Amino acid sequence: MIADLVKWEVTDPATMDAGVVAKAKRNLISPDAKGARRIPVVLDPFAGGGAIPLEAERLGCHAIANDLNPVAHIIQLATLEYAQNFSDLAGSSGSSLFSDNERPLIAEALEWSVGAIRQQVERDVKHFYQSTDGEVVIGYIWARTIQCPNPACRVEIPLMGSWWLCKKPKKKVALKPITESTSKIIEFEVLEGDEIDFDPHKCSGY
C-alpha cells in the first residue's frame, strides 16, 4: 500500500488510483472493538515545508506541525491551513480551488499579494541593482576576493573554481575575465558557444 500511496496519481480524486487513499484512511481510522473511531495524531516538531503533516491530513490523521524557522512557518500556513480553509471560496470566474475551473479565489488572492509585494520590494531595492541597456538583472555571480600581493598591482581578484555559467551539451556559456595592465579593475564578458576562447574550468587562457 505504501508503494501505491507515493504515486503522484493518487493526489487526483478523479483517478482510479485515488482509491488507495480512501483504503488507507479506512485502515487508519477503523473502529475499535467498542465501535469508537480513534484518529491518529501525527506531530512533526520540525515540519519545514509541511510535507509530513500534509500527507498525514490527507490520510485522515490529526496533524500538528511546528518549526522555529519563520519562512517554514509561512509555507506551512499556505500548505496546511490556507488551502484547506479557503479552497471552497469561488473567485471571479465562480470556481473554487478543487473545481474544474482555473480561477479560484485563493489563487487570485495569492497572485495579487505576490504582485503587490514584488512591486513594493522593487521600489525599495531597485537602486541597488543597476541594469545595463535597460535589461532586467535576474541574477548575480558572487565570489570572495583577495588583493594581489604585488605592490604594483593590488587588484581585487575573484576566487572562482570555474567560469562556466552554463555547461550543457547544446548550450555553453562562460564568464571571461578581462584584464588590462593599465587598469586596476577586472571586467567580465559573457561568451557563448564558439566564442569561448579559453578554458573556463581551469580559469586560464585569458
Lowest-pLDDT range, 1-5, 8-12, 101-105? 101-105
Q: What is the pLDDT of residues 163-191, one digit of tens each?
A: 999 999 899 999 998 887 777 788 889 99
Q: How far apart are CA 1 and CA 142, in angstroms?
A: 47
**Cα radius of gyration (the chain):** 27
pLDDT above 60 for 90? yes
Q: What is the DSSP string of 86-120?
A: STT---TTSB-TTSSSS-BHHHHHHHHHHHHHHHH
Give yes or no for residue 206 having a pLDDT over 50.
no
Q: How confident is the model at residue 18 (pLDDT cuts 50, 70, 90)?
A: low
Would you place residue 29 in the very low, low, confident or very high pLDDT band (cuts 50, 70, 90)?
confident
Using the predicted structure, report yes or no on whether residue 16 has a pLDDT greater than 70.
Answer: no
pLDDT above 50 for 138: yes
Domain boundaries, the chain: 2-122, 145-195
Sequence-distant (6+) residues with CB within 8 A of 13 are: 98
Full-model pTM: 0.47
Which of 95-123 are b and which e, b meaning 16 or more Cβ less than 10 Å from the residue's Cβ? bbbeeeeeebbbebeeeeeeeeeeeeeee
Residue 29 vs residue 45, higher pLDDT: 45
Mean of pLDDT values over 77-92: 74
- The C-alpha cell of 202 is what? 581551469
Q: What is the pLDDT of residue 102?
A: 57
Q: What are residue 167's phi and psi, to 5 degrees?
A: -135, 80
Beta pairing class for 41-44 and 156-158: unpaired
The whole-number pLDDT of residue 57 equals: 85
C-alpha distances (whole Å) from 202 to each of 122, 162, 174, 191 are 37, 7, 12, 16
Q: How far apart are CA 115 and CA 123, in angstroms?
A: 12
